[in-house]
Structure 1
Amino acid sequence: MNKQCADIIIKSDSIFTADRDLPLQGAVAVKGDTILAIGSEEELGQYKGSHTKEIEAYGKLVTPGFHDFHVHLWLGAMFQEYASLTFCGSEEEAAERIAQYAEQHPNDPWVLGFGWHHVRWPGQKLPARHSLDQRIKDRPVFLLNEEAHSAWLNTKALEILGIDEMTPEPPFGVIEKDEDGKPTGFLYETAVGLAVEAFNLPSEKKHKLMKSFLEKAGRLGITSIGDMLPLPGFTLGDLEEYKRFEDEGKLTVRIHFLAPLDGDLEKLSYYSRFDSDKLQLSGLKQFIDGVPLTYTGYLLEPYSDRTSTNGGTIYSKETYFKWIEEADKKGYRVRLHACGDAAVRLALDAFQHARNVNGPRDSRHTIEHIEVIHPDDISRFSELGVLPSMQPEHLSSSSMESHEYIDRLGPERLPYTWPIGELEKSGAQLVFGSDYPIVELNPMLGIYRAVTRKHEDGTPSRGWNPQHKISIAKALTHFTRSPAYGNFRENDLGTLQAGKKADIAILDRNLFECEPEEIKGCKVLWTIMDGRIVYDIKNNPKA
């Protein structure tokens, strides 16, 4: 006699459970928020009841819900909501675009825009307040760049924020000044934190931002994220809004958030109230360096196209060692932004120091980005149990010839850029994410890039540094099982197994059988989170 009836039974000839490399044929039964069973259709027939919803997904791929390990939720929601400057080809074009946006939104207290980057403009000249002042004089303008490491303000914004020629620069921050010593309106790295007032939003706007992000995640099959609240010089996110959505039963993405690592462990008690299976503290984050694109990534040797610098760190080596040792002793996991090879080495050294002082433990300390590494440091990840958290979409450019890192890093370092394959072979526990909104949230882009290592124009034909390509099974694993492990959720998330949470995505094609070029065009048909269908493409025909 059947004891339980499933709420949902999914049938497919390709179920990727993520606890094995190849998909299996059969069915998945869901009861409440849990996977009831997985097996053959015949075996799972016993769970079918009069109210069981059956989903036939033959020729499709059933996979655990995607788990994006590196997201900036609130920043991404703002990128979606406010003026997009991503495709502006010059300072004048960006200024004109934001002026049009300001006219269309006369009631916004701050005129906000996102996504510009001067490195793509003719001459790569930094923008200044004057081009904004010519169009918007009486309202403050704040424009965050594509990588969230610099901002462009008008004079009104500088006045409101009290930024003038006497304002001290924060560590690792720059207030760009003209020949008269007056701020130009360009803020660099941690100096962006001086303008955090621009992010104070009314409650109705917060609700709209949260709702739009959750809808976007649902369309992309994402059921869990790591939310990186700390940014250079400030923290951005709204845990109270997240909690409000959870309390109302509307939180359709599990959020594992990071708090700042700043030497003050006492204040972390505030986060103890956020401790559910949908919203919880997952560790502490800090920045070692900036990004090589703007010469702020910390390199062991000088930049090939600017030999006067090798970048630098936000804090001293001694500060990192002290903060990480203390946090590790208290049982916190630490995640460090480290793009340059010297930053990666410093992060590994800091984690090794904490291990030497406090003893080994299952810390799952993590290094973010690893855009370039010295080959001597590759094996240290597995030796120390440090997780390399990488975002494959970051390696792409419009073409191989236009990739800025060719000039920045030079031929000797290029083979060790985004070294996914070598880290995989070394036994390191890789974890994937997007770094949304710095790049798009869509996991298919990261999967495609990890498998092919091709740029937007399809070059090189064998991929950039093909030794770092990985299989489709590994790429899917690093967007599902690996992040669950990274967030200490391997016992209830990340794989399709009986007893685990019913977080499932159903794709419109079988990625194990399609050509690699088709991966980018793959869409999600259904997203199930906690046993609930939170997205059905039939109800979203324009998706």
Structure 2
Amino acid sequence: MVQTADIIIINGRVLPMDGASPPAEAIALAGNRILALGANTDIEALAGTGTRRIDARGATVMPGFNEAHMHIFPGSVSLRQLNLHGVQGFEALKAAILDYAAKNPEEPLLMGFSADYSIISLTEPCTRHHLDAILPDRSFMMFAPDHHTAWANTRALEEAGLLHGKDVGIGNEVVMGPDGLANGELREGNAFGPVAALASTGGREELGMVTGMDPESVTQEQYALDRAILKAGLDYCASWGITSIQNFDGNHYQLRLMRDLMQSGELSCRIRIPYHMKNFMALDDLDKAADWKQEFQSDMLRSDFVKVFMDGVLDSQTAYMLEGYGDRPGYTYEPLFTPEAFNAIATKADALGLQVAVHAIGSAAIRQTLNGYEAAVKANGARGNRHRIEHIEIIHPDDIPRFAELGVVASMQPVHYPGGTCFPAEPTTTRIGEDRWDQAYAWRSMKEAGAPVVFASDWPVSPVSPFQCLQDAVTRKPWKDGLKDQRFSLMEALEAYTATGAWVEFMEDRKGKLIPGYLADVVVLSTDIEQVAPDALMGVESRVTICDGKITFERD
């Protein structure tokens, strides 16, 4: 007896993304699985009286996007905040902040995001005095695009107890001014966390990134607010064709919120959430991560990996570098973990069967992380845990082949490339130094050396749109003649956002490709993406998103 389809999608260019099968015209879904691919007539024959028909109108039909590195709680909260992307100069900043303040009269802490490091000017860094001149009587803080630096006005610093400075731990800093008071710049989570706690959310969205701990107490009203914020964020991701999220901040509180949404049928994307290992935690805390892996192991919600920060970012000069910065030779900064501490973490997590994913942007941070993974292999043998390094913005050439040798994943974000569609070239290119430009954001170099390369946005650091990331991946222009061409082809970039993403999270046997029997995670695009000019890719949209056999977004 032939099974009847619940959903059929016809008149499309169906890309299986399995590396072997040619495109098809149509696809059938039954329950939460793919039933068949084929010609329109073959798929139409699987329809019954209750089958939902979707006409793709000649557009691409492909596996749902796997967003392999993002921050769902901060990203979801950012939908309620002031977006400062593209705002330049004091007057433009003033207009944006005052308009936002007028529209949010009850918010105890007004917050902006994606404020460029040079938002005032390339030669004048932002301070609390600039913000005081705009908004002196209400607390205000804005984040840099990378979410590693924030700037707060005097009112916010006073309320958070930071105006007179504070020891906020290794790798974090309340920057002080010449007057002996905080100048408003806050580097890393321990520094801006006390200000974020003033918000109506109580800063709960930052805990998974800053401390990895749960909030101390949450009222029913606060829980309901956080649940609604996350639901809106998940639905927003679905509107971009995303069906899987690999989250990079996490605590047990977020997992419980997601389980609540899953059990009520409101989880619009699959999600995996890490155990966030911080440098103040005991090694035995990794046993909790192993417990979480057992507690959350469904195809919709999992917690099966460990997140670690090794360093900061280039623009604030908190990335850990081998040979200093281009504009600050000899200044290397410092790692958040000693080599001995990270080696122990990598070895124990590996022995527990946990994947480790490390934020490492500077060349020294990347090398120290690779050394830790090598120590794990020497201690435990090669266990195939597919450990990862996130971002990899500047790497020493000697370390590129080590990814393939050690089986380490290169998790990279083309949209972060300075001078692309999202971020200006300066000050980042100056921080790197012209002599090392060929070693920066080296996606093609990593792939050619045999590293598995997976793409993502790092939302809310940059827009969650996969299409903007795809455009940067295929159109990147070198900063000067003679540099290596780091571009991906469109199909390589799509693979890095689908099939490779599924492989990275050990689900290549059931998602990331359109194969009969695989999970029904499908996106119907607004056009045939293969016919779109490379510099117009960010204009493509998701028309219909289907996750686990359910329509989670429909534009029409």
The 1:429–1:398 alpha-carbon spacing in structure 2 relative to 1, beyond 3 Å, is closer
User: How far did 1:13 drift?
Assistant: 5.0
Aligned to 2:238: 218
1:421-445 Cα shifts (integer Å, max 9, x gaps): 1221222111111111111111111
Matched, 1:498 2:526: no
The 1:472–1:87 alpha-carbon spacing in structure 2 relative to 1, beyond 3 Å, is closer
Matched, 1:295 2:317: yes
Counting only pairs closer than 5 Å after superposition, residues 386-397 of structure 1 correspond to structure 2 as 386-397=408-419
Aligned to 2:66: 67
Counting only pairs closer than 5 Å after superposition, residues 359-374 of structure 1 correspond to structure 2 as 359-374=381-396
User: How far did 1:454 drift?
Assistant: 3.9
Aligned to 1:471: 489
**In structure 1, which of residues 220, 228, 247 is the aligned counterpart of residue 263 of structure 2?**
247
* Amino acid across the alignment from 1:302: G
Which stretch of structure 1 is more off in the superposition, 214-223 or 500-509? 214-223
* Amino acid across the alignment from 1:304: G
Kept in 1: contact 2:108–2:200 (CA 8 A): no
Aligned to 2:539: 521
Counting only pairs closer than 5 Å after superposition, residues 55-204 of structure 1 correspond to structure 2 as 55-91=54-90, 93-94=92-93, 97-134=96-133, 136-137=135-136, 139-165=138-164, 167-190=166-189, 191-198=191-198, 201=201, 202-204=222-224
In 2, Cα distance between equivalents of 1:537 and 1:261: 39
In 2, Cα distance between equivalents of 1:531 and 1:41: 20
Aligned to 1:51: 50
The 1:22–1:476 alpha-carbon spacing in structure 2 relative to 1, beyond 3 Å, is farther
In 2, Cα distance between equivalents of 1:396 and 1:13: 36
In 2, Cα distance between equivalents of 1:43 and 1:133: 67
The 1:135–1:24 alpha-carbon spacing in structure 2 relative to 1, beyond 3 Å, is closer
1:389-418 Cα shifts (integer Å, max 9, x gaps): 011111142699944343222333111221
Aligned to 2:407: 385
Secondary structure of 1:68's counterpart equals: strand
**In structure 2, which of residues 372, 380, 392 is the aligned counterpart of residue 350 of structure 1?**
372
The 1:152–1:389 alpha-carbon spacing in structure 2 relative to 1, beyond 3 Å, is same
**In structure 2, which of residues 277, 286, 290 is the aligned counterpart of residue 265 of structure 1?**
286
Kept in 1: contact 2:107–2:200 (CA 8 A): no
- For structure 1, which runs of at least 5 residues remain unmatched after alignment? 539-543
Counting only pairs closer than 5 Å after superposition, residues 323-338 of structure 1 correspond to structure 2 as 323-338=345-360
Aligned to 2:29: 30
1:125-156 Cα shifts (integer Å, max 9, x gaps): 33333344455455433322221111222333
User: How far did 1:120 drift?
Assistant: 4.0
User: How far did 1:353 drift?
Assistant: 0.6
The 1:143–1:323 alpha-carbon spacing in structure 2 relative to 1, beyond 3 Å, is same
Counting only pairs closer than 5 Å after superposition, residues 229-244 of structure 1 correspond to structure 2 as 229=249, 238-244=254-260
1:337-386 Cα shifts (integer Å, max 9, x gaps): 11122221111111011111111101110000111222221111111110
**In structure 2, which of residues 420, 424, 427 is the aligned counterpart of residue 404 of structure 1?**
427
Kept in 2: contact 1:68–1:432 (CA 8 A): yes
User: How far did 1:323 drift?
Assistant: 1.7
Aligned to 2:548: 530
User: How far did 1:474 drift?
Assistant: 1.2
The 1:401–1:529 alpha-carbon spacing in structure 2 relative to 1, beyond 3 Å, is closer
The 1:411–1:151 alpha-carbon spacing in structure 2 relative to 1, beyond 3 Å, is closer
**In structure 2, which of residues 469, 486, 496 is the aligned counterpart of residue 446 of structure 1?**
469
So what's the TM-score if we normalise by structure 1? 0.90
User: How far did 1:93 drift?
Assistant: 4.5
Kept in 1: contact 2:108–2:199 (CA 8 A): no
1:461-512 Cα shifts (integer Å, max 9, x gaps): x9x9553222211111110111111111112211111111100011122222
User: How far did 1:69 drift?
Assistant: 0.1
In 1, Cα distance between equivalents of 2:96 and 2:527: 39
User: How far did 1:308 drift?
Assistant: 4.0
In 2, Cα distance between equivalents of 1:271 and 1:199: 32
Which stretch of structure 1 is more off in the superposition, 112-121 or 422-431? 112-121
In 1, Cα distance between equivalents of 2:433 and 2:128: 34
Aligned to 1:508: 526
Secondary structure of 2:79's counterpart equals: helix
So what's the TM-score if we normalise by structure 2? 0.88
The 1:156–1:13 alpha-carbon spacing in structure 2 relative to 1, beyond 3 Å, is closer
* Amino acid across the alignment from 1:439: S
Which stretch of structure 1 is more off in the superposition, 205-214 or 327-336? 205-214
- For structure 2, which runs of at least 5 residues remain unmatched after alignment? 202-221
Kept in 1: contact 2:277–2:306 (CA 8 A): yes
Secondary structure of 1:151's counterpart equals: strand
User: How far did 1:45 drift?
Assistant: 4.4
Aligned to 2:211: none
Kept in 2: contact 1:505–1:524 (CA 8 A): yes
Secondary structure of 1:122's counterpart equals: coil
Kept in 2: contact 1:142–1:198 (CA 8 A): no
Kept in 2: contact 1:324–1:350 (CA 8 A): yes
In 2, Cα distance between equivalents of 1:258 and 1:210: 16
* Amino acid across the alignment from 1:323: I
In 2, Cα distance between equivalents of 1:313 and 1:435: 21
> Identity over the aligned pairs, expressed in percent?
31
Kept in 1: contact 2:107–2:199 (CA 8 A): no
Kept in 2: contact 1:229–1:237 (CA 8 A): no
In 1, Cα distance between equivalents of 2:429 and 2:166: 37
In 2, Cα distance between equivalents of 1:500 and 1:22: 15
Aligned to 2:214: none
In 2, Cα distance between equivalents of 1:17 and 1:316: 44
